[in-house]
Amino acid sequence: MTADEGRRLAEQLFASQPAVPADIDALGGVLARFPAAILEPGAVLSPGAGEVILLVEGTLALARPGAGAGGASAALGALHGPALVGQVGALSAAGTPAPLVCAAQGQARVLRIEAATFRSLFSEASPGGARFRWIVLGALAQQLTRMSDLVRTIVAGGGQGDPLAAAEAILEGCEPPRA
């Protein structure tokens, strides 16, 4: 990714999380370190346990292989960019998230970040590292809020569909499929 592309992505990320103090050039410099890829419609991406995917733009349909009936993939939901895939596993003590399959719904642009590099950015003492932490922590806070809302709905006796599937979708950062 070029420095200009990193800067444009930083602008998109700051627009998606307005509470984050903007330092576009600093975050753009961090993002420019990672290779970018364009996924054509229907292209499948299977992020490994050792990586995090930053969906820059577009939509990915997420599924858990072998978790459905008869060993088929179980749909988790849709993820709309800008968003992260695999960040919870990369930050967890175990560091090994369950496998995912991501299918591009239309053209999608992604960055692939090794989990070790992703974790190291949390201790990087630079303006770019600080802004990266703000963005990731903001995304995790949004997931926590959505999970809390789901729990409240379940406790209140509401909601439709499988609550465990909805919780798993939220943990992966996506919108659960509609029942």
Q: How many residues does the chain have?
A: 179
19 pLDDT band (50/70/90 cuts)? low
Q: Residue 165 and residue 158: Cα distance in Å, rounded?
A: 15
Q: Are 16 and 54 in contact (CB under 8 A)?
A: no
Q: How far is CA 71 from CA 98, 127, 167, in A?
A: 15, 46, 20
Confidence bin at 123 (pLDDT 50/70/90): confident
pTM to 2 decimals? 0.70
Walk me through the domains of the chain, giving residue ranges and CATH numbers: 3-171 (2.60.120.10)
pLDDT tens column, 47-104: 766 788 888 889 988 888 776 778 777 788 888 887 888 777 777 665 555 677 888 9
Per mean pLDDT, which of 33-42, 74-83, 169-178 is the most reliable? Answer: 33-42
